[in-house]
Amino acid sequence: RATSSSDPRVRSSSRHTRHGETSHNKNGILQGQLDTALNDTGLRQAQRLGARLLKRKLEMPLSNTAYSSDLGRAAVTGRIVLEALGSDALIVCDARLRERHLGPFQGLSEAQASEVHSTKWVRFISGREAEGVETTPQVVQRAVAALTEIADKNLGRTVLVFSHGGFIHCALSTLTPGRVPHIANCSISELRFFRTGQSTSWTAAERGEGDHVPSGSSSAGKNVDVPVGVPGSNG
């Protein structure tokens, strides 16, 4: 919601986008914090995302700084989008924007993970702590810290943030009320940040909008990176 001239709050808007598709996404391999590259579909998705954002009107000017997870699939998506926008914004890579660390499950399919690490897998998919796997509270802690810092540094501006499906899901479900949909590759979620002195609040103007993602893409529907229902795990 917009602030009026008498509203004492200051605000910023952050457009969060998940990286484009990778071969691991396509093949149902759990990525977590593995540093994987975009496949051809992912590169095209990033270009489509840039074209979509170029057509959008901004309530606040675009920041001259964009932010990305330091994993290559997010950073490359960011560079492609900024090029499409004709922007010379600096991309700041921040490890706090990474996907959830999936420990022993990374690089395996769900079937392989459940077979090789059966006890840990059962604990994980039931929402309990599993040795070597980052917990939901740990993801939430770094997400809230990073996004609040980014929002404060960009008051009065729109800032682009390139990260991961599980990370974005955690941020939306923690900072705003309401159901969070599947976060498809290169979908857009908009968070609005408000500050009055030491008081802060967030609203979600958009959640996982992906009309620009080709309907034939595996990323337009369910993209199995980690089990459905486990927050912060979409890859």
**What is the tens place of the pLDDT at every residue in 176-213?**
999 999 999 999 999 999 999 899 999 999 999 988 77
pTM: 0.89
Sheet hosting strand 90-93, strand order edge to edge: 90-93, 65-68, 158-163, 10-18, 188-196, 199-209
Tell me the pairing of strands 90-93 and 65-68.
parallel
Mean per-residue pLDDT, 157-178: 96
Dist. CA 16–CA 180, nearest whole Å: 14
Q: How far is it, in rounded angstroms, from Cα 81 to Cα 178? A: 28
Q: Is the dihedral of CA 195, 59, 221, 22 positive or negative?
A: negative
- How confident is the prediction for the chain on average, in pLDDT? 89
Work out the pLDDT band at 121, boundaries 50, 70, 90.
very high
Nearest to 110 by CA among 227, 231, 233: 227
Tokens 């457009």, located at residue: 15
Cβ distance 194 to 11 under 8 Å?
yes
pLDDT band at 59 (very low <50, low <70, confident <90, very high): confident
- pLDDT tens, residue by residue, 31-51: 999 999 999 999 999 999 999
Which of 49-53, 83-87, 117-121, 196-200 shows the lowest mean pLDDT across its residues? 196-200
3-state secondary structure of 160: strand
CA-to-CA distance for 162 and 97, rounded, in angstroms?
A: 8
pLDDT, position 214: 66
Q: What is the per-residue pLDDT for 221?
A: 38
The predicted structure's pLDDT at residue 10: 80
Residues 6 or more apart whose CB falls under 8 angstroms from that of 194 comprise 3, 9, 10, 11, 200, 201, 202, 203
Rounded to the nearest angstrom, the gap between the alpha carbon of residue 25 and the centroid of all alpha carbons in its chain is: 15
How do strand 158-163 and strand 188-196 relate by DSSP bridges? unpaired
